[in-house]
Every structure is written in structure tokens, then in C-alpha cells.
Structure 1
Amino acid sequence: MTAKERLVEAAFSLFAERGYDQTTVDDITERAGVGRTTFFRTFRAKEDVIFPDHEVLLQAIEARLGGATEQTALLAVTEGARLVLRHYLAEGERARTRYRLTRSVPALRDREIAGVQQYQRLFRGFLHDWMGGGEDTALRAELMAGAVVTAHNHVLRRWLSGRADDPLREFDAAMAETVGLFTAAGEDEASIVVFRTKKDLNALLPELNRVLGRNP
């Protein structure tokens, strides 16, 4: 077991025994059998021990998004979000302990929100580029990135609170619904008008455009 793994294991054990606020860095290093210097070479502060390595996860998502084509962009976003979910599932009880801590310690909750925003910014930037990168697509990309993160978090919270027996299946269903909201909204619609008249077509076109809501 590495020094980092010992520190994380010691920290989670102490948080469970004494509570987060009652546990000091010295307590953690003593339990882990390492010095303070080792701790601060590994983590910037006590709260850093709580959270997964977001930088590693962000790099994994960026790599997946970077391999996407125009046709597979939405699949890449789905799989990128799934990488995060799989990480939490692999943590098992440690993820549930973190969930309980972030719900009871405001500073940890704020840190968790900041981490979620990193994922959302990454998805937003990718989706914005995929949609063309113009001012007219900025809001749509923002909304879709927010929906993807919300769907992921909804399933994750259900699993963390013991209400999801098959979180990956629920995730696939949630993402299909989320992506469907945006792909359905983006489909072009056509209006077909059938009529019989003896009037000149050129004379009728301005009125038809008005009825269809088009500019003359």
C-alpha cells in the first residue's frame, strides 16, 4: 500500500470514528504511520483526502471526448459521464462515507459542488464546439451539459443512498432520456400544404409565407 493509500484509509477511518472536524492532519499521519511532510507532499489540505482525484477523471473524460467524431459526440459525452459513475461505484463504501460527510459538513459540500462544476464546464465546452461554437449555440450547450451532469448526479445519489440496485442500467436510461430531449428538439419539422386554386402561384406565395410564419 502506498503512502497516499495509507493516508486516505486512515483519514476515512478517523472521520468515521471521530467526525471530520474532530480529526486533525496529525491524527491522520499518526494513524497512517507517515510524517506531516509526506501528507503535504500528497495533499494540500485535510479536505483533499476526502475527494477522488478529479484531475485524473477529467483527463480520462477529455481523452474519450477527444476520440469522438461528429457522429459519435453524444455517445462520447454519455461514456464520459459513465467514467465518473464507474469510479464512484468502484469506491464502494468509501463513496458512501464521503456522501454522508459532504451532507453534514458545509465546507465539504462547497468543495463537492466546485468539482461538479469542473465536469460541467468540460462537457459544455465540448458540446459547444460540436454544435458549431457560435453565440447561437452557447445556451443550448450550457443547458445540455447541465442536464448531463444532473442526470448523472441523480443516479449517483440514488445509489449512494441505497435506492438503486442497478445504477449502470439506471444511468443508461437517464442518459438516453436526457440526450433524447435535445436531439428531439433539434429535429427539423416540415409543413405540407395541399390546396387547389386558379390563382397565380407567385401572387399566393406572400400569403402562404405569412400563414407559415416565414418572412416574405
Structure 2
Amino acid sequence: MSKAPERLPARLRLAEAAFALFDERGYEQTTVEDIAERAGVGRTTFFRNYRSKEAVIFPDHDRLLRLIRDRLATSSHSTALVAVSDAVRLVLLHYLDEGDLARRRYALTSKVGALRDREIASVARYQRLFREFIAEWMGDPTASASLRAELMAASVVAAHNHVLRRWLRGESDDPVAEIDEAMREVLALFPTPGGTGGTPGGGTTVIAFRSGQDLDALLPSLRRAVEGTSP
């Protein structure tokens, strides 16, 4: 049984009131006073919970970033990439826990340019955090390593956003399984620090992937890839 509206925490009542008013009147036409009145609280209570009207819409990114930092901080050099995957899953789970609120936010930010800009700025904070962690994990100050760290971080964030948007649009029945698979694909794209894409001493690197083709049909292409020849 859900709680009666008056018994919900003020922060949640404010969020519910805000999105209801955004739907009814539009984002630009809704004021902080309107939101507080609809929630049955005063302006002081509003600003104790949110810094601004915009802050009602977005998740607490500062808290999510702290959760990511805490998870990354528990990793060792050998478990760094596992920590990256876990951190991405933490963020996705936050949105899944929000449920309908996350979907209402998605619909709103899709229509209001200023909110999209703020969302893009928030995404950049996540990417910067992952880039800094990956660069430190690589332990290589060269320009090429810096580029790899940037590319890895961008891929990590893109994988999360791809899965999240599929769920927001109702296209994913199991977003947690999807994010785990997406992260395996992303991390497989990049060599470990010091790696060159091959194995020192002439070994063989095998990359596993799924295909709708039969193995016999794939073998010629795989041989050409290993030998570095053209089709």
C-alpha cells in the first residue's frame, strides 16, 4: 500500500508536485512558489530540499559521483575495470529505482533545451571522473595513453546512456543484464596497460563475440584477421 500524499517526505512531495505542474502548465510557466504550494510546504522547506527549480528535476549527481568514487577507491590495479563496471551499474540502478520519475524526467528534458544542456553538463562530470581513474590506472603519462583513457571513459558513459535510454523508452526488459553485457563489450575494446593488442613473445589473442553465422562460415574471416590479410 502506498503512503498517503501528506505522509510522503517533503522532498518526494515536492518532486511529485513539480512534475505534475510541469505537465499541466509547462516547465517555464511553473515557479518555485507554485511547486511549494502544490506540495503543501513553504518556500523555506523547498530550498532546504532543492537549490532551484531545475534541481527538482535531476537526480542528486553529487551523491552519485561520491558513490562512484567510493567504489573505484576500493579497487586494486587488477580489479580496476571490474570497479568501473560496478560503478556504471550503480548509476543505472539509481535510475531504475526512480521508476516513473526517471521516465517523466526523460520526457521533460527531451522537450526543454535548457534542461538538455544541464543534462549534458552532468554527463561530462561522470566522463571526467572515469577518465581520471582510468588514466591513473594506466600509469602512463604519454599522449597516446591519455587519448586511450579519454576514449575508454567516453565509451563507458555511452554504453550506460544507451542502455538507460532503451529502458526509459520501454525497449529493455532487463537493463541490468544489458549494462553488464555492454560493459563487457566496451572493456574488451581496449588493451590493458602496457598491452599492444598482441601477446609478447608471439602468442595469440582471441576475442569472443556472438554471430548469427555458422562457425564454418566465420573461420575464413577469423584466419584473415589473425594473419592480417585482406578479404
161, 171, 191: which one pairs with 2:179? 171
1:15: which partner in 2?
Answer: 22
Q: Give the % identical residues.
A: 60
Q: Go from structure 1 to structure 2 and tell me whether the alpha carbon gap of 1:62 and 1:186 turns closer, same or farther (over 3 Å shift).
A: farther
Q: CA RMSD in A?
A: 1.6
Secondary structure of the equivalent of 1:182? coil
Q: Go from structure 1 to structure 2 and tell me whether the alpha carbon gap of 1:133 and 1:11 turns closer, same or farther (over 3 Å shift).
A: farther
Q: Which has the larger radius of gyration?
A: 1
Unaligned 5+ segments in structure 2 are 1-7, 203-231
198, 210, 221: which one pairs with 1:188? 198
Unaligned 5+ segments in structure 1 are 193-216
CA deviation profile, 1:73-92 (whole Å, cap 9, x unmatched): 00000110111100001111
68, 89, 93: which one pairs with 1:82? 89
Q: Normalising by structure 1, report the TM-score.
A: 0.84
2:134: which partner in 1?
Answer: 127
Q: Go from structure 1 to structure 2 and tell me whether the alpha carbon gap of 1:4 and 1:186 turns closer, same or farther (over 3 Å shift).
A: farther
Q: Does 1:46 align with 2:53?
A: yes
CA deviation profile, 1:116-174 (whole Å, cap 9, x unmatched): 11111110110000000513421111110000000000000111011111111111111
Distance (whole Å) between structure 1 residues aligned to residue 196 and residue 129 of structure 2? 22
Residue type at the aligned position of 2:57? I
Distance (whole Å) between structure 2 residues aligned to residue 32 and residue 133 of structure 1? 53
After TM superposition, list the pairs within 5 Å mapping 1:59-138 onto structure 2: 59-136=66-143, 137-138=145-146
Distance (whole Å) between structure 1 residues aligned to residue 198 and residue 78 of structure 2? 17
Q: Go from structure 1 to structure 2 and tell me whether the alpha carbon gap of 1:186 and 1:85 turns closer, same or farther (over 3 Å shift).
A: farther
Distance (whole Å) between structure 2 residues aligned to residue 113 and residue 81 of structure 1? 17
Q: Does 1:148 align with 2:156?
A: yes
Distance (whole Å) between structure 1 residues aligned to residue 56 and residue 153 of structure 2? 28
